[in-house]
Amino acid sequence: MTARTASLWQIRQPSVIPGFGLALGVTLSWLTLIILIPLSGLVWRSSALGWATFWELATDQRTVNALRISFGTAFLAALINVFFGVVLAWVLVRYRFPGKRIIDAMVDLPFALPTAVAGIALTTLYAPNGWIGSLLTPLGIKIAFTPLGIVFALVFVGLPFVVRTVQPIMEEIDKEVEEAAATLGANRFQTIRRVLLPGLAPAVLTGFALAFARGVGEYGSVIFIAGNLPYVSEIAPLLIVIRLEEFNYPAATAIAAVMLVISFAMLLIINMIQAWSRRRYGYGA
Radius of gyration of the chain (CA): 23
pLDDT category, 9, cuts 50, 70, 90? Answer: very low
The predicted pLDDT at position 94 comes to 84
Residue 132 φ then ψ, to 5°: -90, -40
Residue range 31-45: mean pLDDT, rounded: 80
The DSSP H or E segment spanning 115 is helix 115-126
**Residue 176, C-beta contacts closer than 8 angstroms, at least 6 positions apart:** none
The torsion region of residue 248 among left (phi > 0), alpha (psi -120 to 50) and beta comes to: beta
Q: Which of 41-45, 93-97, 155-159 has the highest mean pLDDT?
A: 155-159
Task: Kindly report the pTM of this predicted structure.
Answer: 0.82
Query: In 197-285, which residue ranges form alpha helices assigned H by DSSP?
Result: 197-217, 220-226, 236-245, 249-281
Average pLDDT of the residues of the chain: 84
Tell whether the model's pLDDT for residue 82 goes beyond 90: yes
pLDDT digits (tens, 9 = 90+) for 120-133: 999 999 998 989 99
Task: Give CA torsion, residues 204, 206, 210, 212, to 10 deg.
Answer: 60
pLDDT tens profile 156-197: 999 999 999 999 988 887 777 777 777 777 777 777 777 777
Which domains are assigned to the chain? 50-281 (1.10.3720.10)
CA–CA gap between residue 265 and residue 259 (Å, rounded):
10
Q: Report yes or no: 151 and 77 within 8 Å, Cβ to Cβ.
A: yes
20, amino acid identity: F
pLDDT for residue 20: 67
